[in-house]
Structure 1
Amino acid sequence: MITFNKIDAWADRLIRLSAFIGTLALLAEVLIILVDVIGRAFGAPLYGSQDLGTMAFVIIVFAGMALSDKMGGQIAVDLFEQAMGDRLNKIINILVAIMGCVIFLALAYAVYDSAKISVMLNLQTNLLGLQKVWFQWALCAFALLTALGHLLRTVTFTRRWLGYLEWN
């Protein structure tokens, strides 16, 4: 039987994989910049470093998004938290998690539409001629993973609020 805890455990594994991919992209970005800077000093910059750097930044940002959400790393302004009361704060937490899920689902849908256009027009990067669709699909997958994280956070907040200990 599939329980919430099993779904949450699989989501954690996917989030860790996503963060690992983001870490690899960050290391690649550092290497690209290092080789490009040293190459410029000798009059031979790395050809296509702008293409590689842009795609690596896309992966860095979106691969780490789900982990940031899971760890609560987003910006929070708590100026009015004390004045609103516990019940209203819990409702706001649930609504914010739902809004995050909807936003990332909309982002995934928009990027998926853009990827279909990239396939149709065979869009490529400017210098290296890399197919843009692969990066768009990766961004779409990372956005869907982040939306899943928001959905699981919504369920977790709701379960805590309602007082359920186990969801079977």
Structure 2
Amino acid sequence: MEALRKIADGLIGLSAAIGSLGLLVVVGVILVDVIGRAFGSPLFGSQDMVTMGMVIIVFGGMALCDRTGGHVAVDVFENHFPRGFNRAVDVIAALLGAIIFFGIAWTIWESSQISRMLNLSTNLLRLPKAWFQWALMGFAIVTALGMLLRAAELAFRGRDIRGESHSGEEPL
């Protein structure tokens, strides 16, 4: 299972790196567009680039958010329940999250087929929408697989990776 965790962390890191690159591109586009507007010449297609870039930013970082425990969690009663019950709740939550992200991936796949059939593209730059839908689908699958692995580690090993750094060392 350690080799599987290493592969998963690599995919999660790649996903986050792509999301980070998307963030840099979007910031650059906005900067150029704002400066251009000040001189009466805004960047053509900036709305398309920012809109599609947000897909990459949000879903690129989703798997890392789950890996580090960044999702919203309500733990008001956690201290009042036995440890085994809390672990079971965490396993169920991870499995439900995986189902939701697999559902997102499947829905986006179907939507991309419609986009290809109708040749849908962005408004100004005419970038094919299917490309961004495929990226979103890939990020959703990485997130779902990460959640499945987290559920398996919790269920079979009692290990919650959300409290660990990527190198396996305890955080400071």
**Pairwise TM-score range, normalised by the shorter structure:** over 0.9
Deviation >6 Å, runs of 4+: none
Aligned match of 1:160: 157
| Alpha-carbon distance between aligned partners in 2 of 1:72 and 1:161, rounded to the nearest angstrom | 16
Q: Say what the alpha-carbon RMSD is for the aligned residues.
A: 1.1
Q: 2:77 aligns with which of 75, 80, 95?
A: 80
Following TM superposition, by how much is the alpha carbon of 1:64 offset from its aligned partner in structure 2, in angstroms?
0.3
Q: 2:49 aligns with which of 47, 52, 58?
A: 52
Q: Which amino acid aligns with 1:91?
A: A
How many positions carry a matched residue from both structures?
159
- Structure 2 unmatched ranges of 5 or more: 160-172
Instruction: Provide the secondary structure at the position in 2 that maps to 1:97.
Output: helix
Q: 1:115 aligns with which of 96, 102, 112?
A: 112
| Alpha-carbon distance between aligned partners in 2 of 1:71 and 1:27, rounded to the nearest angstrom | 22
Following TM superposition, by how much is the alpha carbon of 1:32 offset from its aligned partner in structure 2, in angstroms?
0.5
- For normalisation by structure 2, the TM-score amounts to 0.90
Check if 1:27 corresponds to 2:24.
yes
Moved more, 29-38 or 80-89: 80-89
1:30-81, Cα deviation, whole Å (9 max, x unpaired): 0000000000000000111110000101100000000110111111111111
1:112-157, Cα deviation, whole Å (9 max, x unpaired): 0000001111101011100000000000000000000000000010
- Structure 1 unmatched ranges of 5 or more: 163-168
Instruction: Provide the secondary structure at the position in 2 that maps to 1:76.
Output: coil
Aligned match of 1:166: none
Aligned runs of 1:30-41 on 2, under 5 Å? 30-41=27-38
Check if 1:126 corresponds to 2:123.
yes
Moved more, 7-16 or 146-155: 7-16
Q: Which amino acid aligns with 1:126?
A: N
